[in-house]
A and B are shown apart, each in its own frame.
Chain A
């Protein structure tokens, strides 16, 4: 069974631009969560989607948004990028009826 895939793996953007990251969960997993990981703040929860609906949301500004499609693939978007948005963005899908999360390799975003 294929694992969680994320595209792109690396991205360099300029302040003020926007970015869209994509995540394809493991087949059969309907829940997708997004995390931001930085050296200073660690792993912080952004949001979770289940069956195309946002089920949970972390404490991030409205510039961070996401969506999920009918095939469970998910995208997250960050608008008006700031230097502080430079981070590793991780996507995880959750095994049905479980709390176990399966992570993708991440997208390394650098904002200059």
Chain B
């Protein structure tokens, strides 16, 4: 079963606006990652935030993590046409001796010109 649930499922915004996507998860995690996928191709790693971190930045990306609410958000500032893609959160858990990375179903982001 999926661990992460992204919200919204789809989002359309004007170029230049900010885009915010949310991810909720169910169990304890060691870290949370965000990935981008362009139209049915491989995923590209964007950013990893550890469970003891609250906020992380990378260029136009800002990720927050609230472990008490079991949620994370990805903010893309000053969006561009090239940001059109699906965005997935992936949670990393260390359970017993298994390291598992579980992906959500993604948010489809469409940047309008």
Contact = CB atoms under 8 A, between A and B. Distances in A.
Interface residues of A, number: 21
Interface SS of A by simple majority: strand
A107 to B, nearest CB: 11
A101 B101 contact: yes
A27 to B, nearest CB: 17
User: Chain B, interface size: which category?
Assistant: 20 to 34
Given A4-B42, A99-B31, A100-B48, A42 B106 contact: yes
Looking at chain B's contact residues, is the secondary structure mostly helix, strand, loop, or mixed?
Answer: strand
Contacts, number: 56
Given A92-B42, A103-B44, 16 more contacts: A42-B105, A43-B103, A43-B105, A45-B101, A45-B102, A45-B103, A56-B100, A88-B40, A92-B43, A99-B33, A99-B92, A100-B33, A101-B35, A103-B35, A103-B42, A106-B41
Contact of B101 (A99, A102, A108): A99
A81 B101 CA distance: 26
Contacts of A90: 42-43
A59 B2 CA distance: 11
A54 to B, nearest CB: 11
9 contacts: A33-B101, A43-B106, A45-B100, A92-B43, A98-B48, A99-B99, A100-B45, A101-B43, A103-B42
Contact of B48 (A33, A45, A99): A99
